[in-house]
Amino acid sequence: MSRINVVGIDPGPMPGIVSLQFVHRRLEHVDVIQCNYELAPGILSQLLLALNAHDFVSFVQVEQFVIGRRSARSSTPEAGQQTRDLVGALQQVCCETNALVGLQNASCVKTWATDLRLQKADLWRATAGMRHARDAARHALFCASAEAGLPDPLSKEWRSA
């Protein structure tokens, strides 16, 4: 696999989508998107289909939606339903486009994908002012390292790539 695309998604009423395209293990291109939940499945589909046409293997990591104390305080029942529906729609898009898809808990990702890692990967500025896209970038970076076997931004391999 010399062409790998890794997508991180922060679902919700205003999802963030970040796509990292690696060629020969080197980050070559970044797409940062923050949109409304109605548009997210179509955007993901077009992105994956376009990269499939260029022989990219795609990994997609969606933040697992967990109903808890914090989510109950910060969202409405409608927002929770939108998020659950969106996660299902995104998983369906991944199946239709042959992307490898997984769900990951936000607390696990945020512990690893620190601000320093985002800065070293040059994703900090790219997501400035877009908190949902920044969370998506954390998921993309975590997935790139943990699932796609790509280098950690803090490693020498990242710097030499």
Query: How many whole angstroms separate alpha carbon 48 and alpha carbon 38?
Result: 17
**pLDDT at position 49, please?**
98
Tokens of 7: 């997508």
Mean pLDDT of the chain: 92
At 135, give phi and psi (nearest 5°). -65, -35
List pLDDT tens digits, range 115-137: 999 999 999 999 999 999 999 99
Prediction pTM value: 0.93
Is the model's pLDDT at 151 over the cut of 60? yes
- Pair of tokens at residue 37: 């939940």
Rg (CA), the chain: 15
Q: Where do the domains of the chain lie?
A: 3-160
Helix (H, G, I), strand (E, B) or coil at 4: strand
pLDDT at 72 over 50: no
Nearest to 5 by CA among 63, 47, 34: 47
Q: What mean pLDDT comes out for the span 101-114?
A: 95
73 pLDDT above the threshold of 50 = no
Q: Which CATH architecture has domain 3-160?
A: 2-Layer Sandwich (3.30)
- At 18, which helix (H) or strand (E)? strand 16-23
Q: Which residue has the tokens 């990994």?
A: 59
How confident is the model at residue 81, as a pLDDT? 87
d(CA 84, CA 79): 9
Per-residue pLDDT, 140: 98
pLDDT at 100: 96
Q: Which two tokens stand for residue 119?
A: 């800065």
Q: Is the pLDDT of residue 71 over 60?
A: no
